[in-house]
């Protein structure tokens, strides 16, 4: 019988493809004898898909023409000890109102954002925190939305600043 010998040419620039790969998507991990992307990179890719819930994920994952072979079909197992939080985090679903508002307030305080116009400038520069909707008034209109002053944590702060002066 003949033995099949497979030679893999190793590109000096990229190595054998297991560490960074030619697609520049980042370091690969191994899961079930397959190479997969690291959690953060894979999650960022999945966020771009616009999937709504676990059913959408299962439909996308079982489709063999899904577009990215480096994304595992079972991320809850593949990333169990590598950063997995839950399906909402994996799909990039917005946080519940209270959590999102706290994140937005912290973000606004760090960057000294005090108005709706400044919030929109931050949205345009794509620096807003992950899983915080860029249009919170539309997303949370039935969940406690009051306005941008409340969202950014500047309601009532004008009086405090005047007292400090």
> 28: number of CA atoms within 13 Å, CB side?
22
pLDDT at 6: 41
Neighbours of 64 (CB within 10 A): 5
Domain range annotation of the chain: 28-91, 97-158
Rounded CA-CA distance 4/151 in Å is 64
pLDDT at 36: 83
pLDDT at 84: 93
Q: Quick one: tokens of 5? A: 């010998």
Question: pLDDT tens, position by position, for the chain (165 residues)?
Answer: 444 444 344 444 444 444 445 555 566 677 767 788 888 888 888 888 888 899 999 988 887 556 677 888 899 999 998 899 999 999 989 899 999 999 999 999 999 999 999 998 888 777 888 888 888 999 899 998 999 999 999 976 555 544 544
pLDDT at 4: 45
Rounded CA-CA distance 98/83 in Å is 23
Rounded CA-CA distance 131/65 in Å is 27
Rounded CA-CA distance 161/165 in Å is 7
Q: Quick one: tokens of 53? A: 């819930």
How far are the Cα atoms of 18, 86, 129, 150 from residue 44, in angstroms, in the given order? 20, 14, 13, 29
- Reference 132, options 111, 160, 163, 107; nearest CA is 107
Residue 37's DSSP bridge partners are 28
């Amino acid at each position: 019988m003949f033995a099949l010998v497979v030679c893999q040419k190793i590109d000096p620039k990229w190595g054998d493809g297991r560490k960074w790969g030619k697609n520049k998507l980042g370091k690969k991990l191994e899961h079930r004898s397959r190479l997969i992307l690291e959690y953060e990179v894979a999650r960022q890719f999945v966020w771009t898909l616009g999937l709504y819930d676990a059913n959408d994920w299962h439909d996308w994952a079982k489709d063999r023409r899904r577009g990215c072979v480096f994304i595992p079909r079972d991320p809850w197992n593949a990333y169990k000890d590598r950063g997995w939080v839950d399906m909402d985090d994996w799909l990039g679903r917005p946080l519940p109102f209270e959590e999102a508002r706290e994140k937005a307030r912290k973000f606004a305080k760090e960057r000294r954002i005090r108005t709706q116009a400044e919030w929109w400038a931050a949205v345009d520069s794509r620096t807003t925190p992950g899983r915080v909707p860029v249009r919170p008034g539309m997303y949370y209109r039935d969940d406690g939305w009051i306005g941008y002053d409340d969202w950014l944590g500047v309601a009532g702060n004008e009086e405090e600043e005047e007292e400090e002066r």
